[in-house]
Amino acid sequence: MKLKHSLLSILLSVAASGGALAGPLCEVDYSIQHSWPTGATHRVNVSYYGPDADAWTLGWSFPGQEKIESIYNATASQDGATVLLQSAGWNSRISSGSRLNLGFNVSQPSGAIPTSFSMNGKPCDGGVDEPTDPTDPTDPTDPTDPTDPPATTGNWQLDATQSYLNFVSTKKLNLVETHRFDGLSGSISETGEATLVIDMASANTGIAIRDQRLDELLFEVAQFPRAVVTLDLEDQLAPLQAMVPGESMTRDVTAQLELHGQTKAVPAKLRIQRLTNTRFLVQSASPVIIKADDFDLGAGVDALKQVASLTSISTAVPVDFALFFDADYATLTEE
């Protein structure tokens, strides 16, 4: 179930006000990812088109009696049905084109989703000021600005402030929760070697004692502090370099995952989009399933069950991610 503020809603708003057409302040893609009798997992993806801001808020009203119980990539306050999300600190600063990926669990789910949103106190479909002339060579937002040439070869660095990697745990058969890793770094070399490094001690479940148990009992971060994903994209370099801003492609790949002292091949379906001349988005087109037994984590899962007095914890963990890569001009060369 999804909702997206579309061009149609913007046109209707403009027609009602008699004003000139302007772009939306933000677009919200709201979906219910999982649900069970007593709760649900909701995801909110926000595309922001307004001016630069050092902080942000996102507001809406639930159609039912939903109550937010846990959240990632934001903090939440709630008064009845009225909800206000604020940045998590590390993702406070936004600019036009920023994308926020938020998620949370609710109790008392109604199965319905909100229908209107506001950002920084203004309606998402309220419009923003018209941009400056895109043909002006001095306009810093001009995609043809000679200081921002198409990046063809060279290194690409992960933007950890906008990227995310989430994992889903299932306990007691139907209690589903979404968590994240806060510590990410990575790059794509000019030869197509992609690397993602995950700080295992940065696992964030929203509850400190659970984070500590993951560190000590499951991941054993003192001995295995990092997980490393590597992927050879050499065969994909030519089509990637030929992409124009706004173009996307989907690829089936096999990455190598080094986790907890084990290295295994992991299949994944990637959606790759060129956002600008110097920025790519690489995201999971479908969840990547990581099996605990493949990485010698079975004993750790059993230890978590025992310490938390749980009857079951799923050993197959869905992972999803969105990774933003920016051209590194220190190493960039033009063909």
- Kind plus residue range of the DSSP H or E element containing 234: none
- pLDDT at position 128: 60
Dihedral sign, Cα of residue 94, residue 286, residue 109, residue 6 = positive
Chain center to CA of 92:
15
Kindly tell me the number of DSSP H helices and DSSP E strands found in the chain.
4, 22
Chain center to CA of 19:
34
Residue pointed to by tokens 């990092």: 226
Residues 6+ apart with CB under 8 A from 126: 13, 24, 25
- pLDDT at position 291: 96
Q: ∠ CA 275-279-281 to the nearest 5 degrees?
A: 65
Please measure the distance between the N-terminal and C-terminal CA atoms of the chain and give it in whole angstroms: 45
Domain 156-327: homologous superfamily in CATH? Lipid/polyisoprenoid-binding, YceI-like (2.40.128.110)
- pLDDT at position 316: 93
Cβ atoms within 10 A of the Cβ of 265, count? 9
Closest listed residue to residue 202, CA positions, set 188, 217, 219: 219
Cα 37 to Cα 71, 107, 316, distances in angstroms: 19, 9, 22
The structural architecture, per CATH, of the domain 2-126 is: Sandwich (2.60)
- pLDDT at position 91: 81
Q: Where are the domains of the chain?
A: 2-126, 156-327
For residues 144 and 136, the answer to whether their CB atoms sit within 8 Å is: no
Q: Give the integer Cα–Cα distance in Å for 120 and 86.
A: 9
Write down how long the chain is: 335
What is the per-residue burial (b if ≥16 Cβ within 10 Å, else e) of 29-39? ebebbbbeeeb
Residues 6+ apart with CB under 8 A from 182: 90, 199, 202, 204
Amino acid identity, position 204: N
Amino acid identity, position 33: Q
Mean pLDDT split into 10-residue runs, the chain, 335 residues: 42 41 80 85 90 90 91 87 87 85 88 92 74 42 42 74 88 83 93 95 92 96 96 89 87 97 96 87 89 96 94 92 81 43
Cα 150 to Cα 16, 192, 249, 334, distances in angstroms: 41, 17, 18, 9
156-327 and 2-126 share a CATH fold: no
For residues 199 and 163, the answer to whether their CB atoms sit within 8 Å is: no
Cα 73 to Cα 89, 180, 205, distances in angstroms: 9, 9, 11
Residues 6+ apart with CB under 8 A from 230: 193, 194, 195, 196, 255, 256, 258
Chain center to CA of 85:
16
- pLDDT at position 3: 44
Closest listed residue to residue 178, CA positions, set 281, 298, 315, 42: 42
- pLDDT at position 252: 95
Q: Give the integer Cα–Cα distance in Å for 30 and 81.
A: 16
